[in-house]
Chains A and B, each alone.
Chain A
Amino acid sequence: MTEYEEGPEAVATVDTVAGQLVMPFYIICDVSSSMSGDMGDLNKALNDLVNDIMRSPVVDDLVMLSVITFGSTAQTVVKLASPSSITLPTLTSGGGTVYGAAFREYDRAFTADRARLKAEGKKVYRPCVFFLSDGAPGDRDYKQTFRSLFAYDPETRQGNKAFPYVVSFGFRDAPEQVMKDVAYPDFGKSRGRWFLSRSNRIGELLKSMTDSIGNTVLSSGNSAGAGMPQIIPPTVPAGQDMQFGDAGDFVDD
């Protein structure tokens, strides 16, 4: 058993049942040093997000949330659990912007979460990842890391069959092309989606992005209870002069 599963914050299973349907959502937040002036806003936006989701007992029964932060390294700060059972820590900033660390930590966490949930008899649906960043990746091979971990070829059926649905939210110095690259999948009917804003009102921007995440979680959770679960892509956050689009073809450098 890994340290992750044994840790003191491991998910309690008292209120869960075999056969429980689980829609997992992971929020990956850039907390590199460039975010130092925004951490209060980010913490508040995340708290509001969790509280909004908790208000729906239906969605609270169906979805699980996890929060991963990254700078030079990445760590799971909230392990995957029902919204009403998690406690958000106060996030702090520091370090560079290494996307690959975030991708690897997500992959590790989801692999462990899925194994744990399946061992408990739960049915795990495709995960959805929300990726928030204010800057360009410091690791030049981030795209290779992303592809090696997540890419799936629907024609040959090779790659990661449990690939996540990834929605990227970029702001401040996050490059448009990078946000496009991180949105996934880039095939099929339900393509990943990317959003980008150059607004300077970062507090409002983070709030609108987490509102958008909340709407996606609530809508997707609503679809699961009737046995037809689907990730409902986020709509464009209002009033933030947002660029957006669906994931296109994956470009191989």
Chain B
Amino acid sequence: MTDSAPGYDAYSGVPSIGAPGRAATELAAGRPCDVAYSADHELSAGSFPGVEIRAASIRGLLHRYREQPRQDRYSLHHLTSSDTLLVSVCDGVGSLDQSHDAALFVARWMPDAYAAHGAWPKSIADVNEWLGRYADEVARNAAADAEPHTYGMATTFVGVALELSARPRTASIAWTDDSTVWLLDANGWTKLTDEAAAAGSGPLHHTSVRALPHPEPRFHTAEVPAERGALFVMTDGVGVPLESGADVREALAEWWATPPDPFTFGRQVGFARRSHMDDRTVVGIWFDEESSRQVR
């Protein structure tokens, strides 16, 4: 479906891909959530020679329905000393009420940790430790009779570090759980992060994550070429429908063949699709192959 196709912009300002579902078409905006500083949606744009960036984090329908804050967070940061673009994307674990805070914490502090270490493993280890201390402090300050889920917090993490002036240019990827990184180029979509443990492998669908903070954080790293097409760093709110729906892959490939304006990008990230009501966060990094060649 394209911007001009029937259904585009028909539902609460966002396009639909496939059946939008009743929630997308009937749910009212509702009362603002209790976390006053948490905006429903967040947008960013950036550019470097030969590189365009768009970022959007969209509050999911279920959080709107339950009057809960968006639990996805992202950050974009440029380390001038190494000319490195850092992208952090976090997905708070829904079963713990303070997970929006964990996601915000990791997105906020991961660039500092990476600036100190210049590599993901020690950066993730540091932030995991800091988050653990912070979560413990929140727990200590909770009411004595509070249920653990009301003060608990956890988040997944996926990050990309891109040395912009390096040639050949590669992206260093790290991820803890089910958030993913995808390449979109002339060959279509390629998932650059391994399958999350056990998801979809059994007779029934499961979700299993080992989120931060964790005594033994599980994370993976990979180095991938970053000179053509575009990289998309995303939470499972987009990753799951992208992986499971050919029509989603087709629509997003068409929409994101080139970088849209940031407001259009935000609406596209929030596309309506039945039963997919989680928060949605995507950071897109487009590479201009012509300028990459000229620099080289």
Q: Report A's interface with B, CB cutoff 8 A.
A: 14-22, 57-58, 60-62, 84, 114, 121, 123-126, 161-162, 222-230
CB distance from A230 to the nearest CB of B (A): 8
Taking CB atoms, residues of chain B closer than 8 Å to A62 are: 275, 277
Q: Are B205 and A226 in contact (CB under 8 A)?
A: no
Q: Are B207 and A19 in contact (CB under 8 A)?
A: no
Report 28 cross-chain contacts, Cβ distance below 8 Å, ordered by A residue. Answer: A14-B19, A17-B18, A17-B247, A19-B240, A19-B273, A20-B274, A20-B275, A20-B276, A22-B275, A57-B25, A57-B27, A58-B277, A61-B277, A84-B22, A121-B245, A123-B200, A124-B204, A124-B205, A161-B203, A161-B204, A222-B62, A225-B277, A226-B62, A227-B94, A227-B207, A227-B278, A228-B93, A229-B207
Given contacts A62-B277, A222-B66, 12 further A-B contacts (CB under 8 A): A15-B19, A17-B245, A21-B275, A57-B23, A57-B27, A58-B277, A60-B23, A61-B275, A124-B205, A225-B23, A225-B65, A226-B277
| Complexed CA–CA distance, A226 and B236 (Å) | 10
| Complexed CA–CA distance, A49 and B26 (Å) | 21
Taking CB atoms, residues of chain B closer than 8 Å to A114 are: 203-204
Interface of B is mostly: loop
CB distance from A156 to the nearest CB of B (A): 16
Q: Are B247 and A61 in contact (CB under 8 A)?
A: no
The residue from A20, A58, A121, A228 contacting B65, defined by CB atoms under 8 A apart = A58
Q: Number of residue pairs across A and B with beta carbons under 8 Å?
A: 111
Given contacts A18-B244, A19-B248, is CB(A225)–CB(B275) below 8 Å? yes
Q: Are A18 and B246 in contact (CB under 8 A)?
A: yes
Q: Are A58 and B240 in contact (CB under 8 A)?
A: no
Please list the 10 inter-chain residue pairs (A to B) with the smallest Cβ-Cβ separation, ordered nearest first.
A19-B244, A226-B94, A225-B62, A57-B22, A225-B277, A17-B18, A123-B205, A61-B21, A18-B245, A57-B26
Question: Which of B22, B61, B94, B246 counts the most chain A CB atoms within 10 A?
Answer: B22
Taking CB atoms, residues of chain B closer than 8 Å to A230 are: 95
CB distance from A168 to the nearest CB of B (A): 22
Q: Are B278 and A17 in contact (CB under 8 A)?
A: no
| Complexed CA–CA distance, A61 and B273 (Å) | 10
Q: Are B22 and A21 in contact (CB under 8 A)?
A: no
Taking CB atoms, residues of chain B closer than 8 Å to A16 are: 19, 274
Taking CB atoms, residues of chain A closer than 8 Å to B276 are: 19-21
Q: Are B60 and A60 in contact (CB under 8 A)?
A: no
Taking CB atoms, residues of chain A closer than 8 Å to B61 are: 58, 225
Q: Are A18 and B18 in contact (CB under 8 A)?
A: yes
CB distance from B273 to the nearest CB of A (A): 6
CB distance from A11 to the nearest CB of B (A): 14
Q: Are A18 and B247 in contact (CB under 8 A)?
A: yes
CB distance from A24 to the nearest CB of B (A): 10
* Residue in A closest to B22 when the chains form the complex, CB atoms: A57
* Residue in A closest to B17 when the chains form the complex, CB atoms: A17
- In chain B, residues 255-290, which have Cβ atoms closer than 8 Å to a Cβ of chain A? 273-278
CB distance from B145 to the nearest CB of A (A): 19
* Residue in A closest to B66 when the chains form the complex, CB atoms: A222
Q: Are A58 and B204 in contact (CB under 8 A)?
A: no
Taking CB atoms, residues of chain A closer than 8 Å to B19 are: 14-17
| Complexed CA–CA distance, A15 and B25 (Å) | 13
B202 beta carbon closer than 8 Å to chain A: yes
CB distance from A123 to the nearest CB of B (A): 4
Given contacts A21-B205, A60-B22, A61-B22, is CB(A226)–CB(B60) below 8 Å? yes
- In chain B, residues 79-103, which have Cβ atoms closer than 8 Å to a Cβ of chain A? 93-95
Question: Which of A16, A21, A161 counts the most chain B CB atoms within 10 A?
Answer: A21
| Complexed CA–CA distance, A169 and B210 (Å) | 36
Q: Are B205 and A227 in contact (CB under 8 A)?
A: no
* Residue in A closest to B62 when the chains form the complex, CB atoms: A225
| Complexed CA–CA distance, A15 and B272 (Å) | 13
Taking CB atoms, residues of chain A closer than 8 Å to B247 are: 17-18
| Complexed CA–CA distance, A58 and B203 (Å) | 25
- Chain B 200-226 near chain A by CB (<8 Å), digits 1 or 0: 101111010000000000000000000
B241 beta carbon closer than 8 Å to chain A: yes
B108 beta carbon closer than 8 Å to chain A: no
- Chain B 241-255 near chain A by CB (<8 Å), digits 1 or 0: 101111110000000
| Complexed CA–CA distance, A14 and B20 (Å) | 11
Q: Are B26 and A227 in contact (CB under 8 A)?
A: no
Taking CB atoms, residues of chain A closer than 8 Å to B77 are: none
* Residue in B closest to A15 when the chains form the complex, CB atoms: B19
Q: Are B66 and A227 in contact (CB under 8 A)?
A: no
* Residue in A closest to B278 when the chains form the complex, CB atoms: A227
B41 beta carbon closer than 8 Å to chain A: no
- In chain B, residues 35-86, which have Cβ atoms closer than 8 Å to a Cβ of chain A? 60-63, 65-66, 71
